[in-house]
Amino acid sequence: MNVADADRRIRALRPPKRAVDPTTAHGSLIETERRPDGRVERTLTVFLAGAECPFTCSFCDLWQWTLDGSTPPGALVAQLDGVLATLEEPYPRRLKLYTASNFFDRRAVPREDWPAIARLAAPFEAVTVESHVSTIGAATLEFARVLGPDRSLEVAIGLETIHPGAMAQLNKRLELPRFDAVSRMLAAEGIDLRAFVLLGAPYVPLEESVTWTVRTVEHAAACGAAVVSIIPVRGGNGEMERLQALGVFTPPTIMQLECALDRCLDFERTAVEADLWDVRLLSACEVCRPRRVERLARINLTGRAEPRIVCSACSEANAT
């Protein structure tokens, strides 16, 4: 099946899109996050409403938070300004601007808005944006210059998986040599790299799921990623349910997430974290789930190994 056919099939299975207001951000949150040097920094993440990503990844559920057409000029500025107006000082150190799309796609983030975005980002020491690897290049370097020398830039890229068969099936149109080349370019320009890695990627055999997640984290770390987020694949977009019915996707469990994170704590220059967004949706023993989530949250901040949770209810279930 060619890319256009895959796009049509995936989009046809999606449930209706949410109503999105281009003048108002979806929301924001302040959280703490560990950096490669062990420092824990406060971060403001703003979820902006912009144009939908042109890439139709099989696992994506972010399209539902996007506009049908191009982002109107000034819309993102108004959204960000509205969030910052509610913020109390002192501001967090880092500002994350997540558009559920590609920051360096002109349809998603109008270039004429860059100076205003940079002015609003002035109180922060660091800015993180996300974008598909194919959109990263000269525009990225230009945006770094617009931010100015007092602001560090970090670019988040979805690497997802380096499993060769699965990578080709994600409909992401990502080639590993391109990711590696962009990683080198960012490093040469003093721009940090953040990588997103999937746990439970479709077409990765269930018994190899954690291993390939760890291998992908290792690849991102070798490419100089400052932070790697392990993201459990979520269902709900129609395509993942189709793949589950075909037997090529099994929703990941909280224990798999624990195993993956536990095996990724020895990198000297990379902070690895388990993404706990919607962690409540992961299959888990309801007796020990709260303790497992608390353990993951602690390790995210400390980067230090902890004893695994022992639960009699889980042991009994596994024995039957």
Q: Give me the chain's average pLDDT, please.
A: 95
184: amino acid identity, one letter: R
**Fold exhibited by the domain 3-307:** TIM Barrel (3.20.20)
- Say what the pLDDT of residue 317 is: 46
Rounded to a whole number of angstroms, the distance between the first and last alpha carbons of the chain is 43
Q: Which residues are paired to 194 by β-bridges?
A: 156, 227
- Looking at residues 19-24, what average pLDDT do you find? 94
- Say what the pLDDT of residue 129 is: 98
pLDDT band at 314 (very low <50, low <70, confident <90, very high): confident
pLDDT, tens digit (0-9, with 9 covering 90-100), for 92-105: 999 999 999 999 99
Sheet of 192-199, strand order: 27-34, 40-47, 94-98, 126-130, 152-160, 192-199, 227-232, 271-274
- Looking at residues 48-59, what average pLDDT do you find? 96
- For 255-288, b where at least 16 C-beta lie within 10 A, e where not — what string? bbbbbbbbbbeebeebbbbbbbeebeebebbeeb
- Say what the pLDDT of residue 18 is: 87
pLDDT band at 318 (very low <50, low <70, confident <90, very high): low
pLDDT band at 73 (very low <50, low <70, confident <90, very high): very high
pLDDT above 70: percentage of residues in the chain: 98
Per-domain boundaries in the chain: 3-307
- Looking at residues 109-133, what average pLDDT do you find? 98
pLDDT, tens digit (0-9, with 9 covering 90-100), for 262-286: 999 999 999 999 999 999 999 999 9
